[in-house]
């Protein structure tokens, strides 16, 4: 196995570790990881990470790059969805200032987000194309 294979495995393991790390902190409830945020998106993330592990072990660079881009896309979608959910979570409170103050008590935990994005970026960067020598 080459360095690119090991880098792909490390990137996939970072994505899995990021999915298990806390991503949001709710004061009374506690920390939420990816699975607590949304089970469907978490299943997609873990399936792509597993596919990336298989792709890096079997030296499929195109599949590894696809998994990296798909992971970044799903992570961006999740971040936007979580942002809107946090800002609208207390919309049932009739006073706008009180609802805004209540939504500010929910905090992002950036470790999980950073691990997933760095793992996906590692997969994209180190899955470079194989350079074929041109024989004349």
**Encoding tokens for residue 20?**
């298990």
Phi and psi at 24, nearest 5°, equal: -135, 150
> Would you say the C-alpha torsion 82, 84, 87, 88 has a positive or negative sign?
negative
Q: Taking Cα atoms as reference points, which of 63, 49, 53, 70 lies closest to residue 6?
A: 53
Q: Domains of the chain: which residue ranges?
A: 3-125
Alpha helices (H) in the chain, listed in sequence order: 3-20, 34-37, 39-57, 61-88, 96-103, 110-125
Over its length of 136 residues, how does the chain's per-residue pLDDT go in tens digits? Answer: 788 888 899 999 999 999 999 988 888 888 888 898 889 999 999 999 999 999 999 988 899 999 999 999 999 999 999 888 887 777 777 777 777 777 778 888 899 899 999 999 999 998 876 555 566 5
pTM of the complete model beyond 0.85:
no
> Which residues pair with residue 107 across a beta bridge?
25
């Amino acid at each position: 196995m080459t360095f690119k294979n090991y880098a792909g495995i490390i990137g996939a393991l970072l994505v899995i570790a990021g999915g298990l790390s806390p991503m949001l902190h709710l004061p009374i409830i506690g920390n939420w990881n990816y699975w607590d945020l949304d089970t469907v998106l978490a299943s997609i993330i873990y399936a792509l990470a597993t596919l990336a592990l298989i792709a890096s072990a079997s030296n499929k660079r195109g599949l590894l790059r696809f998994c990296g881009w798909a992971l970044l896309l799903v992570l961006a979608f999740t971040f936007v969805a979580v942002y809107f959910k946090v800002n609208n979570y207390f919309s049932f409170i009739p006073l706008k200032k009180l609802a805004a103050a209540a939504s500010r008590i929910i905090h992002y935990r950036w470790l999980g987000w950073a691990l997933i994005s760095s793992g996906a970026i590692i997969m994209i960067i180190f899955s470079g194309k194989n350079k074929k020598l041109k024989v004349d």
